[in-house]
């Protein structure tokens, strides 16, 4: 189990996660990662999460190396806690980005969209922890053999680029297949989700969508409001025909994409439709013609509050969520 909590001291202070493997490995207070979201996983959000006891992550996305270095240096100026960078291995700047990560000696590297194996030796040499995102057991096994420190098993409920297996099915299979710790991701947004992930064998969780609705997230107010209005069936998956499925809010852009796919549009035409669409939504606030990447839990998100409150609420409510599960068994 990924959690240890008990009463200590005269005041009955509750210590949690004292023996949690991820907390011990990374030197963090709570086993809560912030998803490395492109364009909105910036220094502002990452430093706030790290300062609140979790692991903040800069989303490198397709960020040029100089821009990434600037974000890293901002985080270093705003927190003395561990933080990380999420590197998208499909980025045209991936080699330069990895060089920046090495030069800046970033403590934790998470990766997506590929196999980070060729970079693992250099990252390990400077003491960085390497934690790739996986969407299948086969990839998880392959990456474990490269020497990664842990993996993030991310289900299809997630926002943005996704795999095909749900968190409920993927997470326990990855846990059973590996010897390294596993972080659960996809569809987690409160203490109930955290308790469920622990029950499935995870030793930490990663959340993206919940942190979009934080005061520190720089996403345009229109983007946040669109998420607040979302219902349980408000997201759709586009890009399957390209081999790069992504979960987004249903809007004019997603309908146009579906129409073009049905009409037999070429890969080039579909890719051109998506160019600049995420930035259009996150920064320009065009949530009808932009790509509003968000997870299926958007329907249960109802407020915007500081990162510290988000994390502390989940930690405070976790024992109750676990007790509720136990009561069902009485």
SS3 per-residue string spanning 21-89: HHHHHHCCCCCEEECCCCCCCCHHHHHHHHHCCCEEEEECCCCCHHHHHHHHHHHHHHCCCCEEEEEEC
CB count within 10 Å of CB 310 equals 27
Query: By three-state DSSP, how is residue 93 classified?
Result: coil
Q: Name the token pair of 286.
A: 């065009």
Question: What is the chain's Cα-based Rg?
Answer: 19
pLDDT for the residue 8: 44
pLDDT for the residue 244: 83
Taking CA atoms, 138 is separated from 32, 104, 131, 143, 160, in Å, by 25, 32, 16, 9, 21
Rounded Cα distance between 13 and 322, Å, is 18
Spell out the domains of the chain, with CATH numbers in brackets.
5-216+306-328 (3.20.20.70), 221-298 (no CATH)
User: How confident is the model over 228-241, as a mean pLDDT?
Assistant: 93
* 6 band by pLDDT with thresholds 50, 70 and 90: very low
Angle at the Cα of 277 from the Cα atoms of 275 and 282, rounded to 5 degrees: 140
User: How confident is the model over 30-53, as a mean pLDDT?
Assistant: 95
Q: What is the pTM of this model?
A: 0.92
CA 260 to chain centre: 30
User: How confident is the model over 171-188, as a mean pLDDT?
Assistant: 97
Rounded Cα distance between 297 and 170, Å, is 17
pLDDT for the residue 92: 85
Return the percentage of the chain with pLDDT > 90, whole number: 78
């Amino acid at each position: 189990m990924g959690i240890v909590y008990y009463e200590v001291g005269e005041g009955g202070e509750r210590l949690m996660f004292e023996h949690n493997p991820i907390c011990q490995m990374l030197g963090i207070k709570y086993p809560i990662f912030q998803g490395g979201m492109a364009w909105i996983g910036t220094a502002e959000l990452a430093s706030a999460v790290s300062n609140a006891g979790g692991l903040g992550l800069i989303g490198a996305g397709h960020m040029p190396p100089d821009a990434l270095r600037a974000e890293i240096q901002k985080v270093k100026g705003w927190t003395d806690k561990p933080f990380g960078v999420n590197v998208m291995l499909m980025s045209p700047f991936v080699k330069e980005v990895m060089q920046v990560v090495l030069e800046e000696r970033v403590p934790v590297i998470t990766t997506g969209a590929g196999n980070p194996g060729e970079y693992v030796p250099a990252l390990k040499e400077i003491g960085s922890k390497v934690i790739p995102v996986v969407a299948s057991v086969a990839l998880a096994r392959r990456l474990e053999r490269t020497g990664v420190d842990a993996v993030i098993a991310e289900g299809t409920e997630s926002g943005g680029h996704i795999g095909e297996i749900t968190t409920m099915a993927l997470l326990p299979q990855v846990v059973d297949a590996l010897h390294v710790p596993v972080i659960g991701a996809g569809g987690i947004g409160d203490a109930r989700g955290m308790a469920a992930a622990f029950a499935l064998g995870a030793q930490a969780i990663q959340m993206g969508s919940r942190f979009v609705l934080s005061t520190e997230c720089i996403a345009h107010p229109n983007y946040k409001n669109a998420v607040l209005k979302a219902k349980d069936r408000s997201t759709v998956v586009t890009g399957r025909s390209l081999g790069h499925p992504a979960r987004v809010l249903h809007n004019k852009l997603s309908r146009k994409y579906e129409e073009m796919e049905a009409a037999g549009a070429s890969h080039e035409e579909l890719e051109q439709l998506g160019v600049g669409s995420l930035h259009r939504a996150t920064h320009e606030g065009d949530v009808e013609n932009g790509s509003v990447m968000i997870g299926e839990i958007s329907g249960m998100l109802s407020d915007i509050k500081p990162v510290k409150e988000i994390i502390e609420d989940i930690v405070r409510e976790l024992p109750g969520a676990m007790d509720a599960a136990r009561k069902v068994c009485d």
